[in-house]
């Protein structure tokens, strides 16, 4: 063996010339590695594959002409993007390649942006500079941001678009959930536009909770909030029986009575279910409150709390006081102050109290609380951060109770602690944390939420959008959202509007809900007489809607106060309300308007003027429009609806002045005449 080796050594390195030759050859071979590696690179392989695939297609010539060999890159200095993805993904811009089953040669789905303007990694993440699959798609020792799974892709839209977008339902829902589920109570979320996310749920104050409910209910609620109401936003803290017992003891002991809250029953709760149901319906309680029906479906809105088992919760005295004037117990409540009379309160409270579930509190038996239990309960209430959401007398709202989430979408994976068997990616971590927060380590305080998988994906999407890029975006690229204004109407009418909680549903000057129409320019839009009648007896404009304006039982003075204020203050500068007459249009003009309505513009596709023939249900019914809207408003609406209500579904048809005037004449003549005349006769 040794001799063989020595003879080989002699043959190769025996004299200087041989040694020089051999070493040179080795050196040459090793130098050849570099060009060889370049020649056999992955992107070349894919480009050859693309050309092979294209060759047999009918549009081969076009595709071959478009093809550019070599390394391709999209360079966007403003965004810090150097994306070479198009070196392998050659067919992204070829519209005809939709029939290719998978990437890298498939065309890119249609999106509102150009690839050349945004590159690839802005949306998909991954490492754009790389030209090998492993480095570009996966995380490596040196690069920890892999390709974003497609189901979270909308998060990238949220980096620039700070408001809701029509094309990103998942992101919109996620952002909504972040605010509505109260995440922002414990977690600080500084948004890229410099504001701080505000929670939009309104957890009730617990300072007077003993007026409202019993300790048994609090115990059952603490143990499992979703058992009481499946739509509850209160999470499950997984308390032991003893902890729930002590916390309920503390909350009851800590509660102070509020004057007027448990006034003696003015009337026995009525047990007439038919009258109750009809008052519940007339008052449109279901616009905000949901009740689970026998089939298990939720019926009603999600603005107020679910009432399926409300009878188990509230004390009858409290409920009656609440129905009389909710603002007494909670001055900030979104519930309107209906002017119910005593029999109505009796009927409605009887109806609501009958909504019980005999199983809910059946097994709850609590002994009278000891001082030690109350003290322990207080410690638990403060440990679990209950005061982050609820106002609790004697316990301060904790600061920085939970980790800040302002940059969670760029959190380095190296700083995360994963569960065994979990994929080591940021989206999986976030989703896992939302799904089962307590499993990550013992002693974590984050409670268990009852999110569906789709909601978890939405939340993850919204959180991934809170990343470094969204915080360092060039201002020119940020698409700002209009922030909620803190508009508050003034004077007596303003007080009245607060009392009626108009802003729970209506939006005025950028403040308020989106359930009902924006009233910012209502004074220019409607006729005074109609508004007065509408307050007294709210009818419906859109028959397809379930949620409607409730009747608040206002007296004449209140109606006049509100009407005067709305007519005077809520006017658009674009229209002079009185510039066009409400009647006196020539018959010819009305006829022309009618022809345009049914002929050229086919308005009956969405609207109803003649209830016998028209079938339009998308827009409001126009049978009474002549006694509702002002002529000036109708005219401007015909000319440019978006100028009056940005985002309205009504198309801008580009009418001439004459056409608009004729249609106005036709519409203003629709005063619900047929029925009125019939009534007169």
In terms of CB distance, is 142 or 679 closer to another protein?
A: 142
Per CB under 8 A, which region of 35-43, 114-122, 206-214, 368-376 contacts another protein? 35-43
From its phi and psi, is residue 271 left (phi > 0), alpha (psi between -120 and 50) or beta?
Answer: alpha
Per CB under 8 A, which region of 122-130, 173-181, 203-211, 399-407 contacts another protein? 122-130
679 counts as binding another protein under rule CB under 8 A: no
Per CB under 8 A, which region of 142-150, 239-247, 477-485, 566-574 contacts another protein? 142-150
Please report, to the nearest 10 degrees, the dihedral formed by the alpha carbons of residues 157, 159, 160, 164 taken in order.
Answer: 60
- Does an H or E element contain 579, and which? none
Binder among 2, 4, 37, 52 for another protein (CB under 8 A): 37
Residue 337's SS3 state is coil
Cα separation, 179 vs 459, whole angstroms: 10
Per CB under 8 A, which region of 136-144, 158-166, 402-410, 573-581 contacts another protein? 136-144
Q: How many of the chain's residues bind another protein (CB under 8 A)?
A: 22
Cα separation, 430 vs 434, whole angstroms: 6
In terms of CB distance, is 416 or 516 closer to another protein?
A: 416
- The least distance separating another protein from the CB of residue 130, rounded to whole angstroms, comes to 6
DSSP string, 286-329: GGT-EEE-TTS-EEE-SSS---TTHHHHB-HHHHHHHHH-GGGT
- The least distance separating another protein from the CB of residue 71, rounded to whole angstroms, comes to 5
- The least distance separating another protein from the CB of residue 23, rounded to whole angstroms, comes to 12
35 counts as binding another protein under rule CB under 8 A: yes
Cα separation, 389 vs 385, whole angstroms: 8
Binder among 1, 28, 33, 678 for another protein (CB under 8 A): 33
Strands 507-508 and 511-512 turn out to be antiparallel
Task: Count CB neighbours of 247 within 10 A.
Answer: 25
Cα separation, 472 vs 467, whole angstroms: 9
Binder among 53, 144, 266, 589 for another protein (CB under 8 A): 144
143 counts as binding another protein under rule CB under 8 A: yes
- The least distance separating another protein from the CB of residue 193, rounded to whole angstroms, comes to 24
Per CB under 8 A, which region of 107-115, 141-149, 159-167, 476-484 contacts another protein? 141-149
38 counts as binding another protein under rule CB under 8 A: yes
Binder among 1, 110, 141, 150 for another protein (CB under 8 A): 141
In terms of CB distance, is 17 or 368 closer to another protein?
A: 17
Q: DSSP alpha helices (H): ranges in 142-214?
A: 154-160, 169-180, 183-186, 209-212
DSSP string, 438-449: GGGSTT--PPBP
**Residue 431 buriedness (CB in 10 A; 0-12 / 13-18 / 19+):** buried
127 counts as binding another protein under rule CB under 8 A: yes
Answer for the pair 188, 196: CB distance below 8 angstroms, yes or no.
yes
179 counts as binding another protein under rule CB under 8 A: no
28 counts as binding another protein under rule CB under 8 A: no
Per CB under 8 A, which region of 93-101, 138-146, 345-353, 597-605 contacts another protein? 138-146
Cα separation, 668 vs 585, whole angstroms: 9
Binder among 51, 71, 402, 450 for another protein (CB under 8 A): 71
Instruction: Evaluate the CA torsion angle 25, 30, 34, 37 in order and state its sign.
Output: positive
Query: Rule CB under 8 A: which of 385-444 touch another protein?
Result: 414
Q: What is the contact surface with another protein in residues (CB under 8 A)?
A: 17, 33-35, 37-38, 71, 73, 80, 82, 84, 127, 129-132, 135, 141-144, 414
């Amino acid at each position: 063996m040794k001799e063989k080796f020595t003879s080989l050594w002699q043959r190769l390195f025996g004299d200087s010339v041989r040694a020089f030759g051999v070493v040179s050859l080795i050196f040459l071979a090793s130098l050849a590695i570099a060009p060889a590696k370049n020649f056999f690179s992955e992107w070349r392989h894919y480009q050859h594959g693309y050309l092979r695939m294209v060759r047999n297609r009918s549009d081969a010539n076009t595709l071959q002409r478009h093809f550019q060999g070599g390394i391709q890159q999209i360079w966007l200095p403003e965004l810090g993007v150097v994306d070479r993805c198009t070196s392998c993904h050659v067919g992204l811009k070829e519209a005809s390649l939709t029939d290719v089953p998978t990437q890298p040669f498939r065309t890119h789905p249609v999106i509102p942006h150009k690839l050349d303007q945004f590159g690839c990694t802005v949306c998909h993440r991954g490492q754009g500079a790389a030209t090998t699959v492993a480095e570009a798609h996966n995380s490596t020792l040196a690069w920890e941001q892999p390709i974003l799974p497609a189901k979270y892709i909308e998060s990238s839209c949220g980096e620039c678009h700070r408001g809701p977008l029509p094309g990103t339902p998942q992101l919109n829902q996620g952002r909504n959930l972040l605010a509505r589920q109260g995440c922002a109570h414990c977690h600080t979320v500084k948004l890229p536009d410099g504001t701080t996310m505000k929670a939009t749920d309104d957890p009730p104050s617990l300072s007077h909770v003993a007026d409202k409910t019993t300790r048994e209910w609090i115990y059952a609620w603490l143990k499992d909030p979703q058992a009481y109401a499946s739509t509850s936003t209160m999470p499950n803290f997984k308390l032991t029986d003893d902890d729930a017992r002590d916390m309920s003891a503390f909350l009851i002991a800590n509660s102070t009575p509020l004057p007027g809250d448990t006034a003696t029953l003015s009337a026995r709760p009525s047990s007439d279910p038919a009258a109750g149901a009809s008052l519940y319906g007339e008052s449109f309680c279901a616009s905000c409150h949901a009740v689970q029906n026998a089939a298990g479906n939720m019926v009603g809105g999600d603005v107020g709390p679910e009432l399926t088992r409300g009878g188990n919760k509230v004390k009858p005295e409290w409920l009656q006081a609440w129905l009389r004037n909710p603002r007494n117990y909670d001055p900030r409540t979104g519930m309107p102050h209906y002017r119910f009379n005593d029999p109505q309160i009796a009927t409605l409270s009887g109806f609501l109290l009958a909504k019980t579930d005999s199983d809910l509190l059946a097994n709850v038996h609590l002994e009278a609380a000891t001082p030690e239990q109350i003290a322990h309960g207080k410690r638990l209430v403060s440990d679990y951060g209950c005061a982050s959401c609820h106002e609790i007398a004697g316990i301060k709202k904790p600061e920085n109770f939970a980790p800040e989430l302002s940059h969670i979408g760029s959190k380095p994976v190296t700083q995360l602690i994963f569960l065994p068997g979990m994929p080591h990616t940021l989206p999986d971590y976030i989703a896992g944390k939302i799904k089962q927060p307590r499993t990550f380590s013992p002693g974590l305080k984050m409670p268990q939420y009852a999110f569906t998988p789709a909601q978890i994906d939405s939340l993850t999407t919204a959180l991934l959008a809170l990343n470094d890029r969204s915080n360092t975006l060039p201002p020119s690229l940020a698409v700002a959202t209009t922030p909620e204004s803190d508009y508050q109407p003034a004077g007596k009418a303003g007080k009245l509007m607060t009392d009626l909680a108009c802003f729970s549903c209506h939006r005025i000057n950028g403040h308020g809900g989106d359930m009902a129409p924006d009233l910012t320019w209502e004074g220019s839009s409607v006729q005074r007489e109609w508004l007065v009648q509408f307050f007294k007896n709210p009818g419906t404009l859109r028959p397809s809607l379930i949620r409607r304006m409730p009747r608040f039982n206002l007296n004449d003075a209140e109606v006049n106060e509100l009407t005067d204020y709305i007519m005077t203050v809520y006017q658009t500068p674009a229209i002079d309300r009185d510039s066009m007459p409400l009647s006196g249009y020539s018959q010819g003009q009305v006829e022309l308007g009618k022809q345009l309505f049914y002929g050229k513009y086919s308005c009956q596709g969405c609207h109803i003027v003649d209830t016998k023939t028209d079938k339009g249900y998308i827009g409001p019914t126009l049978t009474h429009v002549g006694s509702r809207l002002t002529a000036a408003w109708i005219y401007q609406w015909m000319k440019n609806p978006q100028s009056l209500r940005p985002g309205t579904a009504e198309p801008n048809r580009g009418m001439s002045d004459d056409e608009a005037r004729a249609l106005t004449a036709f519409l203003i003549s629709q005063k619900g005449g047929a029925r009125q005349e019939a009534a007169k006769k």
